[in-house]
Structure formats: C-alpha cells, structure tokens
Amino acid sequence: MKKVGIIGGGIAGLTCAYRLAQKGINCVLFDESAYTGGKIEYCVSVTSPSFQPRLDNLVGELGLGEAKNPFPPTLLALLYKTEMIKFEELPKMMESFSDEEKSFYQKITGEAMKYSFDVADPSPELAELRKISFDQYLKDCPPKLKAMVIDPLLNFAFEPDFTKLSADYGLFHVRFAMEMGSGKAYTFEENLKIVANVLEKKIMDSGSEVSLSSKVERVEKEEGGFKIYFRKRGEEKTEKVEKVVFATPLFETERIFPELKLPRGVEYRKSEVNLVRGKPKTERKVIMGIPAENEANIRLLFQAYPSEHQIYPVDLKKEIDPSALYEDWEIIEKRKLEAAYPILVPKGEVPSLKNEIEGVYLCGDFYYYPSLETAIASAEMVAGMIS
C-alpha cells in the first residue's frame, strides 16, 4: 500500500510529492490530464526572488538555474484603447497626475511593498485588511489613478468588482504586478512548464508513481487509511493509501470527498483564453489591458510561446480585437478555463492545510494568495506535517 495518495498534478501536488519522496515517503500522484503542471503553462515568469523565494529556490534545486532568461520591464506594456504604453514610460505618464493622485499611488504601492505575503508566516496587519473589501480600501482613490493604474495592475486577479476582493488580496496583486516590472524577474525559453516536467521526472525516478489521465471520482475513509476510486482511460480502478493530499480546487475537493466541511472564504472565477498565432507589432511579452474604454477587449496578453500567444478577454461575452497588437493574426482556439482562478473574498476564511479528518491534507494556490509561491509553500508545509 502506498504511503500517500496525492490528488492533483499541478505545481502544489508535484512539489508535495517531490518533498515527500526526498524524505523516503512513497506516493502515488493522480491527475486527470495527460500531462502534469495544471495552470503552470499559463505562468509566464518568476517575479523577483524576494517575492517568490520558494519558487526561486525550487528552480535552483532542480538544476534549472542556467536555463533562466531575464524578464526585464521592457517586456511589459499597458494597452489603453488602441495605444500601447511601455511599462518603463509609466513614471513619465504619471508626471501629468495631480499631487493627490501621486500621493495616493505612493501610499498604496508603499503598503504593498512593506507587507509580507508569506502564507507560512501570515502578517497580522494583513489579517486586519482581510476584514474589508479592496473597494473600501480604495475609497479615497482618485478616479483617474484607479482607471489608469490600479485597475490594470489588478488584471491578474480576474475580478473587476473590487467589492468582491479582500483588501489584502488587492494589495497582493498590486505587489505582484510591481514585482513583474522590477527588473529582477525571469522566465525560461517558453514558460514555466519546464519546472513541472523536471519535478515529474524526479518523482518517478524516486520510485513514486505519477498516474496521468486518471480522474479521481471519490475517496472513502476505511480502516487504516483511504480508498481512492478513479477512472483511467475508461477503466475503473482503486488505490489504497494511508494518507491523502488534495491539491485540487476546493470545490473539486468537496466533490471527491463530501465528508470535508470547508469554509466559504474562497471563490473561483471562470475565464477564457484565446490562443492566437500572428505577427506581433511588438516584442513585449506581457501586455496588460487598461479596463477603462478597452475597445480591444483584451485583459492580458502573454507571449508564452514563440508561435502561439495567450489572450484573455475582459468581457467573456465579447470577441477580442487583436488588431492593435498584430499586423496579422489567427485565433486558433478558444479555451474555457473553468474555475481556474481562486480569489479571497472580504472576511474570507481559508481552510486549514491539515483537516479535522485524520490523515487528510490540503495544499494549493487557494491558500490566501493564489500564486505559484503559495502553491509551493502550502505543499512544503503539508509535506513537513506528513513526514
């Protein structure tokens, strides 16, 4: 019988299995996809190592240090209507702002930079900010500053209604966007999928199992452990394990194991990605659309692959218009990302990583601040609890 069953082959599940394997603990990891990594293929860079220290440490530990490519601010831009604003030109653009607008911008960015968003050591000050919405936090924000700067910085949150975001969560995304433009970020030749690929290989080399194309239907607790029921390529199978780790979205975790009683402090947002091929007018790798008067309906553009780019719309009911960014283009696929992005709501409570049911653990990007760093941190904490 395997020691630990891990459900979910994203970066959280992979990291947990890898850390357990390093301690000699045998695992079997399940994922319903034909490949591991989950949403990591949609992640275009690592921010500064000071903001994502565990991710940066993991990259080095996996021997990927020499594969790093710098991700300078010159690869970022904002899209306003059909005009592109280079990220490094933002300070010049803000020279036209009033003293009130500049002062508020300095206040919010100063606060975003001073707080620790380390989920392993939560900040008491941020816990207080969780009691209000980001909209309440911005109640004195000048409208022009909000429309031209704060709104596009929050594009990574995939929730335009700031009444539905906790204030600490909003500040996290301000910090995240600033770190992307810090000059200390890096990427790989395409995107971060290489991290998942190397983790998967190391897990299998350790003697643990990675079971792909395996959709877990349910988990049942029994004497001495758990029985995992899953379907692999149409065939129903079972696996007995001593402990089980859910590295899945919380609603999926509840579907698989309804006995769990999880708090409702985390909600999920649907999105859609348009996969586009074409000849870009710019070398900018990430373009954040300014939601105000966004004629192109483009929230984010990631040039994650040389021949295939990802464009996320602002309004899922409207078509995107890539003409401002491409000389010629072809939309080759529209891919719905069902419940892909967790958000922390005002007064939201996140579930404990160790559940009240003995032998059950949770990890993933739902834990306070959705990012690769959060997924890795929570996975490493769970591996420590188990070992």
Task: Confirm if 262 and 250 have CB atoms less than 8 A apart.
Answer: yes
Q: Can you tell me the distance from the alpha carbon of 111 to that of 141, in angstroms, rounded to the nearest whole number? A: 14
On average, the pLDDT of the chain sits at 92
Write the CA distances from 160 to 163, 210, 270, integer angstroms.
9, 37, 12
Predicted pLDDT at 2 = 67
Indicate the pTM of the whole model.
0.93
Q: Can you tell me the distance from the alpha carbon of 230 to that of 32, in angstroms, rounded to the nearest whole number? A: 9
| Pair of tokens at residue 30 | 């399940």
Q: Can you tell me the distance from the alpha carbon of 5 to that of 3, in angstroms, rounded to the nearest whole number? A: 7
At residue 210, does pLDDT exceed 60? yes
At residue 1, does pLDDT exceed 60? no
pLDDT 10s digits, 260-275: 989 989 999 888 999 9
Q: Can you tell me the distance from the alpha carbon of 369 to that of 371, in angstroms, rounded to the nearest whole number? A: 6
Predicted pLDDT at 381 = 98
pLDDT 10s digits, 75-94: 899 888 888 888 888 888 88
Q: What are phi and psi of 327, to 5 degrees?
A: -80, -40
Higher pLDDT, 339 or 333: 333
Q: Which region among 190-194, 253-257, 276-280, 357-361 has the lowest average model confidence (pLDDT)?
A: 190-194
Across residues 107-126, what is the average pLDDT? 92
- What whole-number percentage of the chain has pLDDT above 70? 99
Predicted pLDDT at 261 = 86
- Region of 244 on the Ramachandran plot (φ > 0 left; ψ -120 to 50 alpha; else beta): beta
Higher pLDDT, 84 or 361: 361
Across residues 200-218, what is the average pLDDT? 97
User: Between vectors from CA 127 to CA 123 and to CA 133, what angle results, nearest 5°?
Assistant: 135
Torsion of CA 387, 348, 48, 311, to 10 degrees: 110
- What whole-number percentage of the chain has pLDDT above 90? 70
3-class DSSP assignment, residue 270: strand
At residue 339, does pLDDT exceed 70? no
Predicted pLDDT at 350 = 92
Domains and CATH numbers, the chain: 2-68+189-265+349-386 (3.50.50.60), 72-182+267-344 (3.90.660.50)
pLDDT 10s digits, 122-171: 889 999 999 999 999 999 999 999 998 999 889 888 888 999 999 999 99
Higher pLDDT, 89 or 29: 29
Q: How many CA atoms lie within 13 A of 371 on its CB side?
A: 27
